[in-house]
Amino acid sequence: MKVLVIGSGGREHSIVAKLALSTEITALYAAPGNGGIADLATCVPIDVTAVDDLVHFAKEEQIDWTFVGPEIPLLAGVVNAFQQENLNVFGPTKEAALIEGSKDYAKSFMRVHAIPTAASETFSDAEKAKDYIAKKGAPIVVKADGLAAGKGVVVANTVEEANEAVESMLVDNQFGQAGSLVIIEDFLDGKEFSLMAFVNGKDVYPLVPARDHKRVYDNDQGPNTGGMGAYAPIPDLQQSVIDEAIERILKPAAAGLVKEDRSFTGVLYAGLIETTDGPKVIEFNARFGDPETQVILPLLENDLLQVMRDVTAGNNPQLTWKDAYATGTVIAASGYPGSYDKQLPIPDLSELPQDVYCIHAGTEKTAEGYVSNGGRILFIGSVHHNRTDAVESVKTGLTIFKSNPNFHYRTDIGFGK
């Protein structure tokens, strides 16, 4: 089997690393891939949105299966294009991926299908949005409708802050077309968790829950990022809450998409918050979470290629999980999530302890070694039966980046917060 993975981040490195364990795979390709992926797969320089070029490559190389990592190619219709050519592909069509592509659509979808989420209203007019904010008061949440690389959400502690967010989205067009509608949403208080499932139509096969850490600094301080680390499973999350999320959120979402003629195949991601009123949806994504995937896939015992084939064929993939705990921390470039330098030399990774794994998020391979080419550079993870051992191994791994002015990272991930 020849398999292609579309994408270039840590999530895709994890997917490639998992697929590389499949005995049926004879050749792995990534478009465009990264420095770490290049050690396991042939990287081809095709942009994730170059849909025609991706189709052309898959046909020329006679690729048997393609896995789509990020949301941008999904919303650009890469799955539709592959399906039109009868190429096997794992991921939702652009119609199904709209659950991630438009927060306005996702909110009205949840209202129609009675899926628990914060009350909200959508506006295209800044003055009307501000009137609504004045009526509601703070804290309140302002969200751009479209894709904004995780930066389109402002949790405003004051009415002024919320009004500023509205101005920047609707008047100053900070996010272009993606911010031409804003959603003003009630603030929900509680612990967050990510629950994903392999989905095909109404069939839902949940994964272990994971917790992402979006804020840049320890103790969840500072601005939001693409994610600074993650762990799975979540010791403080009760099984009854997970079950409720599956029954009241994931299953109705899958069934609702079928009803709306947007039947979903792929990984459906629910970003959830555990409120006193039960779990509620913060967002849906149409793909694996990043960096959650970097801790979930090492716990999955199944062959990922077989899972894709089973799920697509309508068979239960019979997921089984290691009785273990995975945690990992992102190494980011100094300055991230603000401006940062690229081409930073990466320390010698062979010095990492034996029991940690290293996923590349933003690197490229040069004759002199790996260098950075993004804000989030590496993910240092560990799997152990015992949580303390996993946390301690990562901590030891992080020492090779300690006091290096090129990098920064959180030191509190995996402790159950």
Residues at the site binding ligand GLY, with contacts judged by CB under 6 A: 212, 227, 285, 289-290, 292
CB of 214 to ligand AMP, least distance (A): 5
| The entry of ligand GLY, ligand AMP, none that residue 292 binds, CB within 5 to 8 Å by partner kind | ligand GLY
- Binding segment for ligand AMP (CB under 6 A), chosen from 92-100, 180-188, 257-265, 381-389, is 180-188
Q: Does 282 bind ligand AMP (CB under 6 A)?
A: yes
Q: Which of 130, 190, 216 is nearest to 165 (CA)?
A: 130
CB of 84 to ligand GLY, least distance (A): 28
State the Cα angle at 41 between 40 and 46, rounded to 5°: 145
Q: How many residues bind ligand AMP (CB under 6 A)?
A: 14
Q: Site residues for ligand AMP, window 338-367 (CB under 6 A)? A: none
What burial letters (b/e) apply to 385-417, b meaning 16+ CB within 10 Å? Answer: eebeebbbbbbebbebbeeeebbbbbebbbeee
| The entry of ligand AMP, ligand GLY, none that residue 104 binds, CB within 5 to 8 Å by partner kind | none
CB of 1 to ligand GLY, least distance (A): 27
Q: How far apart are CA 36 and CA 53, in angstroms?
A: 23
CB of 147 to ligand GLY, least distance (A): 10
CB of 366 to ligand GLY, least distance (A): 28
What burial letters (b/e) apply to 159-181, b meaning 16+ CB within 10 Å? Answer: bebbbebbebbbeeebbeebbeb
Our CB check for ligand GLY shows the closer of 285 and 327 to be 285
Our CB check for ligand AMP shows the closer of 283 and 290 to be 283
Q: Does 182 bind ligand AMP (CB under 6 A)?
A: no
Q: How far apart are CA 326 and CA 394, in angstroms?
A: 10
Our CB check for ligand GLY shows the closer of 25 and 268 to be 268
Query: Within 10 A of 324 (CB to CB), how many other CB atoms are there?
Result: 17
Q: How far apart are CA 162 and CA 121, in angstroms?
A: 14
Q: Does 145 bind ligand AMP (CB under 6 A)?
A: no
Residues that bind ligand AMP (CB under 6 A): 118, 141, 150, 153, 155, 185, 187-188, 192, 214, 224, 271, 282-283
